[in-house]
Amino acid sequence: MTHEELLQKLYDETMVGNGPEVIDLTNQGLEDGLTPDQLLFDALIPALEEVGARFERGDWFVPEMLIAGKAMAGALEVLRPLLAATGTETIGKFVMGTVKGDVHDIGKNLVNIMLEGAGFEVIDLGVQVAPEKFVEAVEEHQPDILGMSAFLTTTMPMFKANINALEKAGLRDKVIVLVGGAPVTQEYADAVAADGYAADASAAVKLSKDLIAKQRAKATA
Amino acid sequence: MQTTISSASKTVTIGGDQPFCIIGERINPTGRTAFQEQLRAGDLSQVLVDVDEQIAGGAHVLDVNMGVPLADEPALLAQSIQLVQGKTDLPICIDSSVVEALEAGLAVYQGKALVNSVTCEEDRIEAVLPLVKQHGAAIICLTNGEEGIPVLWEERFEFCKRLVDIVHGKWEIPLEDMVIDVLAMPVGAEPQSAYHFFKTVDAIRSEFDLNITCGASNTSFGMPKRHTLNSTFLAMAAGAGMTSAIMDARSEECVAAVRGSDVLLGKDEYGIGWIGNYRPPAKA
């Protein structure tokens, strides 16, 4: 197999979520002399981008996005130590969690998978995450973005509580805050002074990339 | 086990020997931006449109939820319950995660309501069950606790046992006034979830004979041809012993599926109800 053929096959198998084959191809690619960067940026990430685009158009469905993301996550486990060694920067670092009082995590987990698929490093704090836990995690991991999820109208107010806690800790301007979950709207995100809202996993990836690009442009300007 | 709920003039019975109880889910603004804006502006006209559609579709009970962010949910829920009760005699399932809203809804409700819902979480129990007792309502009990929503049927069944111990044992709410929500999860995100759902239903029916419900539409989240998948799920769940569901009564497929399960389970004898609902136009 030529390098081009291997990258094409890796792209194809990632798209259809063939986990074992994606790991095999990743290992084979490394053996054949492809760099971790090439495998990531010329096959894996484009595959997930295409899955996201098809999902957004309504041509593809949640389970397809899920298995493609999982297949990619398998490849990333192989590549991550190598990428770290070569100093390849991740697209961004994400701390994620479902707010206190709320145990719903299916949507959040989907977003995590798509973010990892897009090349983000995701630190998932799980469910029932109290404000002080969010603050601790932002301090410890210094993420580009903090993502919060809530599924109930009663737990949505925790967004504001968490943002207040960040402010109190002097961290609010150090991190982009995104919110999401079934009852959440753009209007609500604005009302609690979050930096953004996304309606689904694919939109969350796009928004995250945009906001980080803006922030980095601002930082270098 | 028979759970009865009522309005001022009509009683509906949920039970294993009764036709499947369709609880119409649509009177709910979640995910409906235009409806939310109307409600925030005090315009409740859409509530009546939704009520009409749920009744026309075949609902036996109406779930009323006014979970609008940045609005006065207790006031909205009380207002809409009065509005719905002025329009129809179908009993109502009062649905909110806000305790004050449940309180306001129960205060104006005429009859014996079904309250949606309580979980195994202690603070929810302490807040909701006194209201349920005070009003003599029936209560939907969710099989999850502080730790999350378990996938495995054995763990969900444990939650059900815990609910029986607490709601019936400790708070002395009659078993027949407990309806267990086994929690339908998206099968597209958790492939084994429906299997564990059916197993949980079966276990609960065998051990306690309690009535069972769920929010059925969740099953097909993220999938194409959702009504067909939901209706398949509903028929299978009814086969496992589920006796009601919070579902969209506008979906002919879903309504036909539960009516069909009534015929197949021998609850609609000789299919007379089915025939009445689906008789083709007379040829003469």
Q: Cβ–Cβ of B186/A62 closer than 8 Å? A: yes
Q: Cβ–Cβ of A153/B97 closer than 8 Å? A: yes
Mean pLDDT of B65-91: 95
Strands B178-181 and B138-142: parallel
pLDDT at position B126, please?
94
Task: Name the residue facing A183 among B30, B147, B149 (closest C-beta).
Answer: B30
Please indicate, yes or no, if residue B10 is contained in any of the structural domains. Answer: no
pLDDT in tens, A111-124: 998 898 888 999 99
Cβ pair B141, B178 in contact under 8 A: yes
Cβ pair B166, B123 in contact under 8 A: no
Query: Regarding the domain delimited by A93-220, which CATH topology (the fold level of the hierarchy) does it fall under?
Result: Rossmann fold (3.40.50)
Mean pLDDT of A31-36: 96
The pLDDT mean for chain A works out to 93
Q: B33 CB near a chain A CB, below 8 Å?
A: yes
Q: Cβ–Cβ of A185/B30 closer than 8 Å? A: no
Please indicate, yes or no, if residue B275 is contained in any of the structural domains. Answer: no
Sequence letter at residue A25 = L
Mean pLDDT of B35-45: 95
The Cα–Cα gap between B165 and B172 comes to: 9
pLDDT at position A182, please?
86
Residue B217 lies in domain: 16-268
pLDDT in tens, A198-216: 999 889 999 999 999 998 8
Q: B148 CB near a chain A CB, below 8 Å?
A: yes
Confidence of residue B239 (pLDDT cuts 50, 70, 90): very high
Please indicate, yes or no, if residue B281 is contained in any of the structural domains. Answer: no
For A108, which residue in chain B has the nearest alpha carbon? B189
pLDDT top residue among A90 and B26:
B26
The Cα–Cα gap between A196 and A207 comes to: 8
Confidence of residue A89 (pLDDT cuts 50, 70, 90): confident
Strands A145-149 and A93-98: parallel
Mean pLDDT of A9-13: 98
Cβ pair B234, B257 in contact under 8 A: yes
Closest CA to B180 of B146, B199, B157: B157
pTM of the entire predicted model: 0.90
For A59, which residue in chain B has the nearest alpha carbon? B224
Query: Which site among A65, A104, A106, A185 would you substitute to test the B interface, given the most B Cβ atoms closer than 10 Å to its Cβ?
Result: A106
Q: How far is B144 from chain A (nearest CA, A)?
A: 9
pLDDT at position A84, please?
80
Q: Which residues of A touch B36 (CB under 8 A)?
A: 185
pLDDT at position B107, please?
98
Strands B178-181 and B211-213: parallel
Confidence of residue B91 (pLDDT cuts 50, 70, 90): very high
The Cα–Cα gap between A133 and A92 comes to: 20
Please indicate, yes or no, if residue B274 is contained in any of the structural domains. Answer: no
| DSSP secondary structure, B124-182, as one string | HHHHHHHHHHHHT-EEEEES-BTTB---SHHHHHHHHHHHIIIIIIIT---GGGEEEE-
Please indicate, yes or no, if residue B261 is contained in any of the structural domains. Answer: yes
pLDDT in tens, B118-177: 998 888 999 999 999 999 999 999 998 777 788 899 999 999 999 999 999 999 999 999
* Long-range contacts, stretch B150-156, CB < 8 angstroms, 24+ apart: B151/B185, B151/B190, B151/B192, B151/B193, B151/B196, B152/B196, B153/B195, B153/B196, B153/B197, B153/B199, B153/B200, B153/B203, B156/B182, B156/B183, B156/B196, B156/B200
Q: Show which residues on chain A lie within 8 Å of chain B, measured between beta carbons.
A: 61-63, 66, 103-106, 109-110, 127-128, 152-156, 182-185, 187-188, 191
Q: What residue ranges do the domains of chain A occupy?
A: 3-86, 93-220
pLDDT in tens, A137-147: 999 999 999 99
The CATH number that applies at residue B95 is 3.20.20.20
Beta bridge partners of B247: B24
Share above pLDDT 70 across residues of chain B, in percent, rounded to a whole number: 100
Q: Is the ipTM of this complex over 0.90?
A: no
Cβ pair B64, B105 in contact under 8 A: yes
Cβ pair B249, B255 in contact under 8 A: yes
Mean pLDDT of B19-48: 95
Cβ pair B44, B79 in contact under 8 A: yes
CB pairs under 8 A between A and B: 62
- Look at residue A90 and tell me whether its pLDDT is greater than 80: no
pLDDT at position A88, please?
74
| Omega within 30 of 0 (cis) for the link into B244 | no
With H, G, I as helix, E, B as strand and everything else as coil, classify residue A175.
coil
Mean pLDDT of B55-64: 98
| DSSP secondary structure, chain B, as one string | -EEEEE-SS-EEEEETTSPPEEEEEEE--TT-HHHHHHHHTT--HHHHHHHHHHHHHT-SEEEEE---TTS-HHHHHHHHHHHHHHH--S-EEEE-S-HHHHHHHHHH--S--EEEEE-S-HHHHHHHHHHHHHHT-EEEEES-BTTB---SHHHHHHHHHHHIIIIIIIT---GGGEEEE-----TTTSTTHHHHHHHHHHHHHHHT--EEE-BGGGGGTT-SSHHHHHHHHHHHHHHHT--EEEE-TT-HHHHHHHHHHHHHTTSSGGGHHHHHHHPPPP--
Cβ pair B167, B118 in contact under 8 A: yes
Q: What's the total number of domains in chain B?
A: 1
Beta bridge partners of B63: B93
Q: Which residues of A touch B33 (CB under 8 A)?
A: 185
Cβ pair A149, A177 in contact under 8 A: no
CA dihedral angle for residue A152, residue A153, residue A155, residue A161, rounded to 10 degrees: 150
CATH superfamily to which A3-86 belongs:
Methionine synthase domain (1.10.1240.10)
For A58, which residue in chain B has the nearest alpha carbon? B224
Q: What is the DSSP letter of A172?
A: G
3-state secondary structure A179-214: EECCCCCHHHHHHCCCCEECCCHHHHHHHHHHHHHH
CA A188 to chain centre: 22
Query: What is the sign of the dihedral through the CA atoms of B115, B120, B124 and B126?
Result: positive
pLDDT at position A141, please?
96
Q: Which residues of A touch B186 (CB under 8 A)?
A: 62, 106
pLDDT at position B145, please?
76
For B32, which residue in chain A has the nearest alpha carbon? A183
The Cα–Cα gap between B173 and B131 comes to: 11
Closest CA to B217 of B249, B248, B192, B180: B248
The pLDDT mean for chain B works out to 95
